[in-house]
Chain A
Amino acid sequence: MRAAAAVTLGWVWVALNALSAIYALSKTGLGVMWFAELLVVALLASPGALLVAWGRRRPQRYEEFMQLAKQVLLPITGVMMLLTLSMVFLWVPTDANLGVSQRIFYFHVPLAIMSLLPPFLVSLSSIGYLWRRNEGWDALSLSAVEVGVLFTTLTLATGSIWARPTWGVWWRWDPMLTTFFILWLMYLGYLLLRAYAPSPDQGARYSAVLGIVGSVNSVIVYMATVWWNTQHPEKVVGPAAEAGSLDARMGVALLVAFATFALLFAYVLLERLSLRRDEAQVEVLRAQLEEAR
């Protein structure tokens, strides 16, 4: 009964989080962006969270499922990645205004949207951890943050590579870029906090607190930077601004790229989760070894 209450509360939280993010995004006219985000969150965050809850009940079958999922996801992701690459470089027409540099959008946009997933996952699993003190929730937050660092770094890098020839600068302090940068810094703070915590248990607790506060803050950072910029009217030529004017082939390629990076995200997350389980087992074995001496 309490588990059901926890799951319900978690979902309410995610819904609130998602609604506020969508509200903030819709204010900027990034319609396609938030719709895709909602879709991806529904597709990915829910199985991730359910997986942990289920893994607690049936560890044996959870283990089997994880192995199977990884084995299935890896080749599919590989094939999809090849498909995306060939579409982007061979099939899609070159953008009339932006030229060849626009092709990086097929990597940058999916990466950016996947980077928005970890805050949702982390806030959900942090609440789960503080409520139930289940190691699985903690493993999910840690894995989500680590994958988040990877995806956010790639987003910032691909964005900069595109910005240099188009805007003439590597970096601009517009709302999107600033939000991602702050998000990236908060992820690093999260990982440092775990590294410096006096014990793994305290590290898990502290980082769960940080995960909740930080996820809420990432939405507020975005709103603040949007309002800040309206004082300095500067037209943002963001990736999503182009989304309305896509050629049909461009739209298809973008969708395929979304699917590819969603699979990649899921695969890397699963891989990290099972690595975390192995780490925990090594810890147990090491403790037993110490006792045996």
Chain B
Amino acid sequence: MREFWVPVATIAWKDLLLELRTKEIVTSVLVFALVAVVVFYFALRPTPQTIGFVAPGVLWVAFTFAGSLVMMRTFVLEKEQGSLEGLMLCPVSRDVLYFGKLISGFLFMLVVEAAILPVFSVLFDAPLLNPALFGVLVLTTLGFASVGTLFSAISVNTRSREIMLPILFFPMVVPVLIAAVAATAIVLDGASQERLGQWLAFSGAFAAIFVTLSALLFGYTLEE
């Protein structure tokens, strides 16, 4: 157990340390997500009556776009600096690499989302700082990061990688996106706690299935 988690933590810590020093990923994605929220506001012009319908959707579209950018950046940085080969030479199994990258990507996304959330609730006048929403955020982001890590490892090696990742990533996260939007709407309504539990269970199942599957398949994406 120890032999597994220590290298995982080392790889994740390497990414976090790099990010703490350069702040390259989180700042740029944060600004991007803010811009997206503003664009959506003017595209939809929500009134106090429609805001309840619009807010969950806008929030999660912004998070989905931001998530795909975060995943792309974590691998592009490795690729550009030639450190992907270094990672592959590490004397650890491929699923260790997967979990390391999963954890760092997951944390970057959470940081971006945590920073967006207060701004969003002010701009859209939606009471989003709710503990129930925390569960939705964590499970959905884990679901995003599970397939996102696998697909960015694939698309970073393809030509026109910036377009390849969204094409693969968005259809794949549709189920968990549906769950996230539905759960967020319930949190805003304050109604039907039972449904909320079901959607959380669904997101959890999605994350569990795809973390397992991606960990199994990750090795095949990193062969030369």
Contacts and interface: CB of A to CB of B under 8 A. Distances in A.
Question: Which size bracket describes the interface of A in this complex?
Answer: 20 to 34
B157 interface: yes
Contact of B221 (A209, A221, A227): A209
B44 interface: no
A213 B209 CA distance: 10
A178 B158 CA distance: 28
B175 A206 contact: no
B171 A186 contact: yes
B184 to A, nearest CB: 13
Contact of A213 (B157, B195, B214): B214
B220 A130 contact: yes
Question: Which size bracket describes the interface of B in this complex?
Answer: 20 to 34
Interface stretch (B88-96, B128-136, B159-167): B159-167
Contacts of A210: 151, 154, 168
Nearest to A228: B178
A198 B220 CA distance: 15
B34 interface: no
Contacts of A214: 171-172
- Chain A contact residues, majority secondary structure: helix
Interface string A213-251: 110110011011101100100000000000000000000
Nearest to A224: B175
B187 interface: no
B160 A196 contact: yes
Contacts of A202: 157
A209 B206 contact: no
A225 B164 contact: no
Interface string B183-224: 000000000000100110010001001100110010011010
A193 B202 contact: no
Interface in B120-160: 147, 150-151, 154-155, 157-160
A193 B178 contact: no
Contacts of B150: 209, 213
B93 to A, nearest CB: 16
A214 B147 CA distance: 10
Given A189-B167, A196-B164, A224-B175, A206 B217 contact: no
Interface of A: 130, 182, 185-186, 188-189, 192-193, 196-198, 202, 205-206, 208-210, 212-214, 216-217, 220-221, 223-225, 227-228, 231
6 contacts: A196-B160, A198-B157, A198-B158, A212-B213, A217-B171, A227-B202
Given A217-B172, A228-B182, 13 more contacts: A130-B220, A192-B164, A198-B159, A202-B157, A208-B220, A213-B147, A213-B150, A213-B172, A214-B172, A217-B171, A217-B175, A220-B206, A221-B174
